[in-house]
Chains A and B, each alone.
Chain A
Amino acid sequence: MTDAPVPRIEVRDLTVVFGEDERRVVAVDAVSFRVEPGASFGLVGESGSGKSTVLRAICGLSPVAGGQILIDGKPLDLRRDRAFTRQVQMVFQDPYGSLHPRHTIDRILSEPLAIHGFRDRETRITGALADVGLDPAFRFRLPHQLSGGQRQRVAIARALILEPTILLLDEPTSALDASIQAEILNLLSRLRREKNLTYLFVSHDLAVIDHMCDRLLVMKGGRAVEELTEGALSHRRVESDYTRALMKASEGFVRPAGAA
């Protein structure tokens, strides 16, 4: 235990509660996991499983009722400071909702740089656009002039522009067509390799998680169902019936026996 590397992200008994009294909902119930530096960890589950709430709790966007979140071994303060946003960035599901509709791509990418007082904006913006495979010509366009996949590239560029070490990805390809999803997943894999990023990847799609992550946690109704190590899914080494049901469902429809 002593010589194990300090995990980049560690979540211990995280509990998130919304509402009070009879409207009290425990959205996340004592969930724990560790993500090593440079690893990609998946959170998978259906709606209401609490997977996105975990991400939002790490960002300080959900009311944490108990437990601890540590980044590089240091517990997070109640308020997330600027140093935190330098290190941890988030990419959301909906590329239509997460970009300001009346700001140009240039302005969208400049804003975090201005907040954090960077001087070399020009080189960083052109660099970020190149990183995500967008032509420099897109720089002065508005989000509505871009396709869904191009918008998601902008959202990723915005997340990367402060050179964080951790990306929190909340269903980053669920709103995209299959062919565009493949392009964005390839982009995310390449960026992780090149920049030694640590990913916490949330998705309802078991196949996407298996493709993108080394280890994963299956969640249901706010609880951790089981944690799976590399290869467990492909070799079907799963313990719980719920994970098995999810695996079966991801293979498509099975006509009941005897039906034509």
Chain B
Amino acid sequence: MTQAHGDALLSVRDLSVTFDTRRGPFQAVRGISFDVGRERVGIVGESGSGKSMTGRAILGLVRAPGRVAASCLTFDGIDMRNLPERQMRRIRGQRVSMVMQDPRYSLNPVMTVGRQIAEALRVHGRPPRDEIRRRSLDMLNEVQIRDPERVLKAYPHELSGGMGQRVMIAMMLVTEPELLIADEPTSALDVTVQLEVLRILDDLVRRRGMGLIFISHDLRLVSTFCDRVLVMYRGRIVEEIEARRLHEAKHPYTQGLLNCLPRIGGGHGDLPTLQRQQAWKDA
């Protein structure tokens, strides 16, 4: 077993997620290992590559009948494998948070934004009401919501997609987590709003020294936003590379993913397509 990194916030060794199907066990994640420090790590892959399952497995959010196994899964030195649900909850939301793709499904539709943020703060201890209010407003300000007083009283359906996603991020960050797992946090947003949300996340990583796992299908976005990229294919990490050197990627899958994207000024000729090879599965 590899020793965990000294300065790593999160250490993962031989993580696998297995589902039993009628055709026998299916491994969505097949023995992957990586560390995350106080940095931006991108996990990239196509649908079915296991990138979302990896994020969920870290937080113990894979539902039965899915099974998670790992030889090491530590956050800040705490072994997260088989942690009792009570103690897991002390970490989840408080020290490690997760932002999901679509605010329409991850916000409670019948609760005001204010109550949802307060709920996140109340999970541990009972801060006084004016402190909750102050921290909620500060957080909404921080994610650049212009009218936080009004948004606090609003229901999710009264917000636009971009606002909803910023509220989601505010809710996840109000507890000041040390690690944020963001699963396609901007994919449902318009490009211009997308960049705004990324700027907020980027700022939080730099100012608070937060670790960030950024899960995305968008290789171009990840290469410009993250420090390091893990490329996943069929449940395995096929390549790990510094984001700014992504164009030097060696694995044919990574190269294929980069090349098949149309570019402005790339002409009307046929796009190179990805020729999947059996060997990649065992990479």
Contact = CB atoms under 8 A, between A and B. Distances in A.
Given A182-B271, A207-B263, A252 B224 contact: yes
Interface stretch (A110-118, A134-142, A208-216): A208-216
Contacts, number: 98
A204 interface: yes
A51 to B, nearest CB: 12
Contacts of A252: 220-221, 223-225
Contacts of B282: none
Given A178-B219, A211-B262, A249 B195 contact: yes
A259 interface: yes
B262 A208 contact: yes
Which residue among A185, A206, A253, A255 has the maximum number of chain B CB atoms within 10 Å of its CB? A253
Contacts of A190: 270
A46 interface: yes
A208 to B, nearest CB: 5
Interface string B203-238: 000100000000001011101110000000000000
Contacts of A245: 192
B194 A256 contact: no
A245 B207 CA distance: 27
B221 A260 contact: no
A145 interface: no
Contact of A211 (B191, B223, B271, B273): B271
B265 A178 contact: no
A247 interface: yes
Interface residues of B, number: 35
Interface residues of A, number: 37
Nearest to A177: B46
Interface stretch (B119-127, B136-144, B253-261): B253-261
A250 B264 CA distance: 9
A183 interface: yes
Interface of B: 46-47, 161, 190-192, 194-195, 198-199, 202, 206, 217, 219-221, 223-225, 256-257, 260-268, 270-274
27 contacts: A46-B191, A46-B192, A177-B47, A178-B46, A178-B219, A179-B46, A179-B260, A181-B260, A182-B260, A182-B273, A183-B273, A185-B271, A186-B270, A186-B273, A210-B265, A211-B262, A211-B266, A233-B264, A245-B192, A246-B192, A252-B221, A252-B224, A253-B221, A253-B224, A255-B202, A256-B199, A256-B202
